[in-house]
Structure 1
Amino acid sequence: MNLTVSRRLGDAFFRFVHGNRLVYNTCWEDPRLDRRLLALGSDSRVVVITSAGDNALDYLLDDPTEVACVDLNFRQNALLELKRALFCRASFKELFTFFGQGGGPSCAATYARLRGHLPAYTAAYWDKNIAYFKGGRLSRSFYHHGASGAAAFLFTRLLGLLKPGLRRELPRLLAARDAEEQRRAFTAVEPIFWDRLSRWLVARPALMALLGVPRPQIALIRDSHPGGLEGFVREKVRRVFTETAMAENYFWRVYLTGRYAPECCPEYLKEQHFETIRERLGRLTTHTDSLSGFLAGHPGPYSHFVLLDHQDWLANHDPAALAEEWERIFAVAAPGARVLMRSAGLDVSFLPEAARRRLTFFPEVTEALHAADRVGTYGSQHLAVVA
């Protein structure tokens, strides 16, 4: 197939997935690092890409004045609004059934009770999709629904079916009590996992699109990593499973098992934080819009911007939109505002030169913390202060 046609088809599939489905059912950025880098306080006004809303809820624990969650995909905001309703009008046990266990038989009745308190678009979405939380032995977990969840389900189930040894060894890896036991467990798993099938799956652009990785990011990884995409993934997986404690790595646990454990889950799902987050939810708002569109209509000023990794895609796909986004950010940024970004690449070359001139970066801080990232799939993270 012609390379240009192949790229166009890949981009079209990515746009189709992101325009027609819930993509992220959990955040894939480590909020423990976010909160250290952002240094939020009682006067903070934060703008964040919604994603699954997990990290925005965690930010409320630092007592900011405002957390504005912005996403082009209304389904991501509908997910966060469902979480808000559970905090405000349900018990901690019910919240954990939905988002800790990934669903259960009681979720339909809980939803029916909450439905009248949801925004109209949220209720319309979950009326069609509340079965994501059906739970039970014959039903998939919520965390195996949506685009990224479907990819995780396909990957784990296919490998589990074809590799019974992997199915036996993974629980040992997740249950490891110390670093040495964890390294031994991973040493047993790695050769079973990495064979021709898994290498073929990792190289599929369609699977990467379901996980939320667009073609430009794949190209960026291939160009910046000596081992290409496969080498990048192998290196990141090895680092995560040998250098970060599985006992607290809820990111990988939830996709491998379909659920969190009470002692291994996001902060918003810990019972000791339930009342605090419930009391502060009035400070959190959701907006279905582009970041530029939101900032044009909500002039701030804002002290913090959490941009995730969407600028990688904009830099390749629509550089004019990226330049406009930075103009909007600078127009509403408070003096000394902090900007947190991640990238598939290793540096900030994806940023417009005009934006780089107005930002001060702190690689000595971010590079050290990046090594402690429990997700481990990004090439780099960047903290900047607006000059």
Structure 2
Amino acid sequence: MSYSLSMIPGGSFNRHVNWLGRVFWRAWFDVDRVGLEPARRDYLEYRFGTVISSSERNYLLGGIPYYIFIGCHKQSTENPEALAKLDAAYTESPYLSPTRHRKELSKAVEQSVPGIRSKAYEAAIVNLSSNLPLPSSFYQHHHWRIWYDELHPKHTQFNNEYIYAFTWEDPRVDHRLLRIGSDDVILAISSAGDNILDYLQYSPRKIHAVDLNPSQNHLLELKVASFTALSYLDVWKIFGEGKHPHFRELLLSKLSPHLSSQAFQFWLDHCNVFTSTSGKGLYETGGSRYALKMVRYLFNIFGLNSEVKRLCESQTLDEQRELWPRIRNILLSKPLHWAVVGTEWFAWKAAGVPPPQRNMIISDYMTRNGLSGGVKQSSDVSGQAIWEYVVDTLDPVVNHTLISDDNYFYFLCLQGKYSRRCHPSYLTPKSHLKLSTPGAFDGLRIHTDEINEVIARITPGTLTIAVIMDSMDWFDPEGTAAASQAKAFNQVLKMDGRILLRSASIEPWYIKIFEANGFSARRVGARFPGSCIDRVNMYASTWIVTKTVELFLNSTESVRPLKQRTISVSSSSVDDLEI
């Protein structure tokens, strides 16, 4: 027997060997009467539950393919009660033993929440009905990472690369706005995992981390496993300095029991990120590395390295402001922005700004300057709009935040690593003590999927907070995705549940969509020229969207209020959010 690719239980990373390699190595080992048929591995994975597997090549001996397999007895995990427990944890549903299902579940509950099942549960049922082993996620020591179809095009489009090596959101402002407590159930975008670790320090009941890019979740998994298994010194070297000469040894001996098979395969293939003696390590990787490398290249070409170093060592804002003009003349030169930074290619490939978000920046610029829609596609207009946006981002950061001591976002961009004085809160010894405590991550669930797919499989009325960053900016204003997501959030949030979002626009077009679907919206931060909205200062506005009306979605996806409340449909706002 041979599995289809979609049924590979431990992950397919590096599993494929090209036709020429297969023919050559089979012929080579046939001389010694050693068979290399794939059915051997298939049978091993069929007989045992896959805990971890990895496909490797020994290049010292000519690139001989080999694999690592760690398995376990699979029967204990395949009973219906074990699957139901995992499913309940993934979907925020109360656990009901399948053996007493009829007695414990009333008809009213059955009718109110029909058939909410996680994709992991559905995959398990499909495999069991076909007499195949379960996906490896069911046999892990921890059930943080939820099963996903790694070969689906929506995941393979990222080519096994994360975009962000660190998170561009200021958690200090998040905490002031959200006041996270022990009863909160949070949905948040994973990104690089920094803010997820920050939220976990406040011990919420559950956090659902969501990202469509599998590699972003591999990075989050690595951070979680590191806090679980490593000392503070090792964690600091890996995520504070971005390098660790013994990362491979740590991965194999200490981290692997706490990683999913897919994450283990990914990091085993990317050990050089941390062990390479050249480059800046972790923080010079990912899709956004191009922008950081370009900035450092400019510093080298124009002899600004000494000024940058002094800027990052400045003890006062006055000293920082004195050093900024010469650096500014290079970074914010108009020819550079019109030729490179203002282009759509650079915005997406290097800075992670998709075309719809870039268009929002241009539209705001046109509105401020009274320009007509006919010149929207003009390269001069778009270049000037992006240039002004970057100016409004960087100038206030230098004028109002001390990079050497507090603004670790820009310190990292300039230095390629954190310092002992300037780093995220999750890298403090106090945070390590809390996050390395047994059970610290029991409430974490890592979903590799779209937000809509995840919240559709969470029991309605269970989320209290959603932190969706700037993800709504990625939607097409002419499409229906924004309305679908607003309706979905109305279903899954508790009454008075809140959504925290940021936008590159001062008045995002989709705020009205939220207000039309049972939410009130309040702008809690607005960035105007010369002002700082937070330490990142990259977004034009910050919003809290609160559920105030319960909506009912019928079978045709129309929305009808179940309970009317008197609310204002206009957004209230404040001019600036103090940092």
1:104 alignment counterpart: 244
1:4 alignment counterpart: none
* Partner SS for 2:288: helix
User: Which runs of structure 1 show a deviation greater than 6 angstroms over 4 or more consecutive aligned residues?
Assistant: none
Match 1:332 to one of 492, 516, 524: 492
Q: Which has the higher contact order (CA 8 A, sep 6+)?
A: 1
Letter in 2 for 1:376: N
- Root-mean-square deviation (CA, aligned residues, Å) is 2.1
Match 2:224 to one of 58, 63, 84: 84
Mapped partners of 1:368, 1:236: distance in 2: 9
TM alignment of 1:1-387, pairs within 5 A: 18=158, 20-113=160-253, 114-136=255-277, 138-153=278-293, 155-164=294-303, 166-195=304-333, 196-197=335-336, 199-210=338-349, 211-225=351-365, 226=369, 227-246=384-403, 247-279=405-437, 280-299=440-459, 301-316=462-477, 319-351=479-511, 353=513, 355-356=515-516, 358-363=518-523, 365-367=524-526, 371-387=532-548
Distance change in 2, residues 1:17/1:293 (3 Å): closer
Mapped partners of 2:156, 2:512: distance in 1: 27
Work out whether residues 149 and 255 of structure 1, in 8 Å CA contact, stay in contact via their aligned partners in 2.
no
Letter in 2 for 1:172: R
Work out whether residues 17 and 147 of structure 1, in 8 Å CA contact, stay in contact via their aligned partners in 2.
no
Work out whether residues 18 and 73 of structure 1, in 8 Å CA contact, stay in contact via their aligned partners in 2.
yes
1:6 alignment counterpart: none
Q: CA deviation at 1:305?
A: 0.3
Mapped partners of 1:377, 1:356: distance in 2: 28
Q: 1:72-105, CA deviations, whole angstroms, 9 ceiling, x for partnerless residues?
A: 1111111110001100011111111111001121
What percent of counterpart residues are identical? 29
* Partner SS for 2:499: strand
Mapped partners of 1:353, 1:266: distance in 2: 34
Distance change in 2, residues 1:359/1:348 (3 Å): farther
Q: CA deviation at 1:21?
A: 2.0
Work out whether residues 295 and 331 of structure 2, in 8 Å CA contact, stay in contact via their aligned partners in 1.
no
Q: CA deviation at 1:19?
A: 5.7
Q: CA deviation at 1:200?
A: 2.5
Work out whether residues 243 and 282 of structure 2, in 8 Å CA contact, stay in contact via their aligned partners in 1.
yes
Work out whether residues 186 and 242 of structure 1, in 8 Å CA contact, stay in contact via their aligned partners in 2.
no
Q: 1:145-167, CA deviations, whole angstroms, 9 ceiling, x for partnerless residues?
A: 110123312x1232023211x22
Work out whether residues 234 and 244 of structure 2, in 8 Å CA contact, stay in contact via their aligned partners in 1.
no
In the alignment, structure 1 segments of 5+ residues that lack a partner are 1-14
* Partner SS for 2:544: strand
Distance change in 2, residues 1:221/1:354 (3 Å): closer
Distance change in 2, residues 1:119/1:366 (3 Å): same
Distance change in 2, residues 1:361/1:354 (3 Å): closer
Q: CA deviation at 1:361?
A: 2.6
* Partner SS for 1:362: strand
Mapped partners of 1:341, 1:354: distance in 2: 12
* Partner SS for 2:442: helix
Work out whether residues 19 and 73 of structure 1, in 8 Å CA contact, stay in contact via their aligned partners in 2.
no
TM-score (norm: length of structure 2): 0.61
Work out whether residues 526 and 533 of structure 2, in 8 Å CA contact, stay in contact via their aligned partners in 1.
no
Letter in 2 for 1:270: T
Mapped partners of 2:269, 2:433: distance in 1: 30
Mapped partners of 2:195, 2:244: distance in 1: 24
Structure showing greater radius of gyration is: 2
Q: CA deviation at 1:208?
A: 1.6
Q: CA deviation at 1:372?
A: 4.2
Q: Name whichever structure is richer in helix by fraction.
A: 1
Q: CA deviation at 1:16?
A: 9.0
Mapped partners of 2:198, 2:508: distance in 1: 27
* Partner SS for 1:147: coil
